[in-house]
Amino acid sequence: MLKKMTAACICFMVCAGTVSAQERYTVDKVVAVVGNSAIKYSELVEARNVLVEERRKQGYTSDRDPMNEALEGLLVQKLLYNQALIDSVQINLDAVSSEVEARLAMMTEEAGSTAALEAEMGMPYYEIRQDFKGKYEEMYYAQAMRSDVISKVKITPGEVEMFYRELDRDSLPIVPEQYVYAQIVRYPTSSKEAKQRVREELLDMRERVINGTRFDLLARMYSVDPGTAMQGGEMEMSLNQFVQPFADALEKLQPGQISEVVETEYGFHIIQLVEKNGDRYRCRHILLRPVYTPDELAEGGRFLDSLANEIRGGAITFEDAAMKYSDDKYSRQNGGIVTNHELLELMHVSDTRYSTTKFLREDLRTDYPAISALKEGEISPAFQSRDLRNNELNKIVKLIQVIPAHPASLNEDYLQIEALALQTKQEEEFEKWLDGKIDGLYIRIEPEFRDGDFVNKHWVK
């Protein structure tokens, strides 16, 4: 429950500040103090409104007063924030600034102009920015502090088994319907024209940066990397964490310099080194991928439709066709059967326990419509899809098995049981940690707000 409450209070901080000037109070009284942080009445009302809206969207009802629940969420967040400062927890302040600017740009667009936003918020633009900056920083610090606490919690196989044995059979989690399937993948022909088009586009951007255009601005406008675009293309890692062609180019740069066009498995990049600290590199990049013509994309589909007809007619098996024709290195040698090995590789997970061939509906992304139309053993027509790196491709799929929804079992669904057991243990440890911090930190709640149904009884001292 505390985990859900903490996640909710983070949402409060992101959404707070969007009420109109008319909804603000002339005298904004303090309803609680945690360490050096105050919770104002207007902040509490905003948090309550967000909570009520989230409940409405999820169709969730609660016996708790949303005002009281919102207050406890804010108390947790303020405590986490104060403890993060005490423990010198680090956050990415550049990411904070990027999120603030993106949010302000969206709000300005919705309001129609900067002046309209100022009128709506009842304060000058620079004050709106400062207000959001403080809220986002607090959100980031609180999130980092909580992650630091629960990341230390580990669980053993013996604890997982004990957790499972102690679960009431009616409380066992239900594993939704799962799918096992095989695929044959064809990427568009690596035409010189498509690659040349994207190279020329990046070279033009490089020239614009050299002539004074801000690199981070172009990254926000044009980069197709969803993980970094809104941060101006910025990321920071050890050199060995970057893919090899990217790392090779980055290592040669001096701060402020921009690379030539670099090709990786993700597409094409230009890279700007911001700073180097030991083996840590902070850089910006713009990622683009080749844009193929309809004919270039359709070529792979025509080939796969013809191949599917040969398989259906018995001229070749799906397994042999996958080995001979598929461009997917992760499945071609396994008879085309799809695994999560590529995802594990992207997440730098080497533990083979997490390998699986079973996929939930939400894991199937663009493949689900084709798979859902098949019976076991059937092969789909060719369709266009994207890989985990968002590269365009064509594929055909064969449905191997549909595993019906069922209560989780220790033998068949160990990872799901392990995840639930770990989450439960993390929550228990976080609650113990929270109890100790509440007892050791100055906390005052105004008398008229003390009588609510707090989950943690330590708040009222």
Residue 59 lies in a domain: yes
Calpha distance 397→185 (Å, rounded): 9
Residue 170 lies in a domain: no
Residue 415 lies in a domain: no
Q: Please tell me whether residues 289 and 345 are part of one structural domain.
A: yes
- From first to last of the 461 residues of the chain, give the pLDDT tens digit: 334 444 444 444 454 445 444 444 445 799 999 999 999 999 999 999 999 998 888 887 778 899 999 999 999 999 999 999 999 999 888 778 878 888 888 899 899 999 999 999 889 999 999 999 999 999 999 999 999 999 999 999 999 999 999 998 888 889 999 999 999 999 987 677 888 999 999 999 999 999 999 999 999 999 999 888 888 999 988 898 899 999 999 999 999 999 999 999 889 999 999 999 888 899 999 999 988 888 888 999 999 999 999 999 999 999 999 999 999 999 999 999 999 999 998 888 888 888 999 999 999 988 999 999 999 999 999 999 989 888 889 999 999 999 999 999 998 899 889 999 999 999 999 999 999 999 999 999 999 999 888 999 899 87
CATH number at residue 242: 3.10.50.40
Look at residue 170 in the predicted model and tell me its pLDDT. Answer: 84
Look at residue 286 in the predicted model and tell me its pLDDT. Answer: 97
Which residues are CB-contacts of 288 (< 8 A; sequence separation ≥ 6)?
198, 201, 202, 222, 223, 224, 267, 268, 269
Q: Please tell me whether residues 242 and 323 are part of one structural domain.
A: yes
What is the 8-class DSSP label of residue 88?
Answer: T
Residue 123 lies in a domain: yes
Look at residue 418 in the predicted model and tell me its pLDDT. Answer: 93
Look at residue 442 in the predicted model and tell me its pLDDT. Answer: 93
CATH number at residue 53: 1.10.4030.10
Calpha distance 335→318 (Å, rounded): 7
Contact 233, 225 (CB under 8 A): yes
Q: Please tell me whether residues 330 and 210 are part of one structural domain.
A: yes
Residue 455 lies in a domain: no
Q: Please tell me whether residues 192 and 115 are part of one structural domain.
A: no
Q: Please tell me whether residues 281 and 383 are part of one structural domain.
A: yes
pTM for this one?
Answer: 0.68
Closest CA to 433 of 146, 188, 233, 221: 146
Q: Please tell me whether residues 280 and 323 are part of one structural domain.
A: yes
Calpha distance 290→204 (Å, rounded): 15
Burial 394-433 (b: 16+ CB within 10 A, else e): bbbbbbbeeeeeeebeeeebbebbbebbbeebbbeebbeb
Q: Please tell me whether residues 319 and 378 are part of one structural domain.
A: yes
Which residues are CB-contacts of 406 (< 8 A; sequence separation ≥ 6)?
174, 175
Calpha distance 1→431 (Å, rounded): 10
Residue 194, exposed/middle/buried by CB under 10 A (0-12, 13-18, 19+)?
Answer: middle
Q: Please tell me whether residues 89 and 183 are part of one structural domain.
A: no
Residue 69 lies in a domain: yes
Q: Please tell me whether residues 360 and 218 are part of one structural domain.
A: yes
Radius of gyration of the chain (CA): 26
Calpha distance 431→439 (Å, rounded): 12
Q: Please tell me whether residues 252 and 371 are part of one structural domain.
A: yes
The boundaries of the domain holding residue 366 are 177-404
Helix (H, G, I), strand (E, B) or coil at 299: helix
Look at residue 8 in the predicted model and tell me its pLDDT. Answer: 41
Contact 304, 184 (CB under 8 A): yes
Look at residue 27 in the predicted model and tell me its pLDDT. Answer: 56
Q: Please tell me whether residues 427 and 399 are part of one structural domain.
A: no
Contact 220, 238 (CB under 8 A): no
What is the 8-class DSSP label of residue 26?
Answer: S
Q: Please tell me whether residues 222 and 354 are part of one structural domain.
A: yes
Q: How many Cβ atoms from other residues are within 10 Å of residue 127's Cβ?
A: 12
How many domains are contained in the chain?
2
